[in-house]
Amino acid sequence: MQFLNRSVFISYGAAILIVMCFSCTDDKREHAISQIPVEFKLYRFDLEFAQTEPEGLKDIKIKYPYFFPEQVPDSIWEAKLKDSLQSELEQEVAKVFPNNDELEEDLRSVFQHIKYYFPETKLPSTVVTTTSEVDYRHKVILTDSVIVVSLDTFLGSENALYSGVYDYIKIGMTKDRIAPELALEFASQIIPPINRPTLVEAMVQEGQKLYAAQQLSPSSSEALLLGYTDGEYEWTEANARFLWEYFITNDFLFSTEPQLYNRFVALAPFSKFYLEIDRESPGGVGKYLGLQIVKSFMERAETDLKGLLTTRPEVIFNKAKYKP
């Protein structure tokens, strides 16, 4: 029988102890966060509109004025009340979200985490759900006074209504994406914009958002946050070193060429290396690398989540010393 070297055994035991300590700390923090009181009201505009008759249009317009621009005549809304596609959307939403319990629980958790990490932030006390004709680019809207959640963009990737939507987009149209979408939207509003960013700055900014979303919605996996399947995530993780070397070899990191953002950061069916591996890769691999850079930075930096989101990407990159 071959025995472990004693020093190796001690190191292995120490590593396990460290992991257990971090896990215990995380559990205590999450328990404390779950006790934070938050108050908000959830209004199902989607259900109310579905049940509205033309003569009741005036009342619902008074209750939800932000959904009814003054320049749009009532005839448009009256036609929408009778529209077959709108009716189908409303029926599917009612099937996937028959009550508010799960939705309120997910939203409350994000609210609690925001209050924990950003105690001075005043969140809207009103959340309104709606349908948006499957506008997947604006799933969650966060304003000073209201949060709007388009439930018809979270019906599940296999929903028949999404038959005309590309697969790489449908991956992110599941109801477990609601909490991280709110977290990502919140983080996006804190991070200062950069005029004409370099590729690495754009990557790190996405990494800042994703890291924040991990903290504000800790039950969400990295694959879920990135909008990847498990297979796509495993491919990206396995090829991280190649991706990094590719960017360095081609002098892409500090380039401000806008096309690089579209090739490696933007939502897309695959990343564009112009190599045989293109079809194997998921879109937006730069977001994955950006998240790893931010994680490396947070392991070295003495800052909190708010500090991370207000730190310039170039500072994060320089201090991260990231090496996949």
Give the model's confidence band at 196: pLDDT under 50 very low, under 70 low, under 90 confident, else very high.
very high
261-291 pLDDT, tens digit per residue, is: 999 999 999 999 999 999 999 999 999 999 9
Percent of the chain at pLDDT above 90? 92
Q: Quick check: 143 and 172 in contact, CB under 8 A? A: no
Q: Is the pLDDT of residue 141 over 90?
A: yes
> What does the pLDDT read at residue 26?
82
Q: Quick check: 187 and 177 in contact, CB under 8 A? A: no
> What does the pLDDT read at residue 21?
54
Q: Which of 8-12, 79-83, 153-157 has the lowest mean pLDDT?
A: 8-12
161-189 pLDDT, tens digit per residue, is: 999 999 999 999 999 999 999 999 999 99
* Residue 124, C-beta contacts closer than 8 angstroms, at least 6 positions apart: 40, 142, 143, 144, 145, 146, 147
Give the model's confidence band at 155: pLDDT under 50 very low, under 70 low, under 90 confident, else very high.
very high
What average pLDDT does range 76-96 have in this prediction? 95
Backbone φ and ψ for 299, nearest 5 degrees, come out as: -70, -25
> What does the pLDDT read at residue 20?
57
129-140 pLDDT, tens digit per residue, is: 999 999 999 999
Give the model's confidence band at 322: pLDDT under 50 very low, under 70 low, under 90 confident, else very high.
very high
> What does the pLDDT read at residue 247?
98
> What does the pLDDT read at residue 55?
94
> What does the pLDDT read at residue 241?
97
Q: What mean pLDDT, rounded, does the chain reach? A: 93
Give the model's confidence band at 60: pLDDT under 50 very low, under 70 low, under 90 confident, else very high.
very high
Helix spans in the chain (H): 6-34, 45-50, 57-63, 74-82, 84-96, 101-117, 167-170, 178-190, 199-216, 222-226, 230-238, 240-249, 258-264, 285-300, 305-309, 313-320
Antiparallel, parallel or unpaired: β 126-130 and 41-44: parallel
Q: Return d(Cα 155, Cα 172) in angstroms, integer.
A: 10
Domain boundaries, the chain: 41-181, 199-320
Give the model's confidence band at 217: pLDDT under 50 very low, under 70 low, under 90 confident, else very high.
very high
Q: Quick check: 212 and 205 in contact, CB under 8 A? A: no
> What does the pLDDT read at residue 13?
57
> What does the pLDDT read at residue 17?
53
222-262 pLDDT, tens digit per residue, is: 999 999 999 999 999 999 999 999 999 999 999 999 999 99
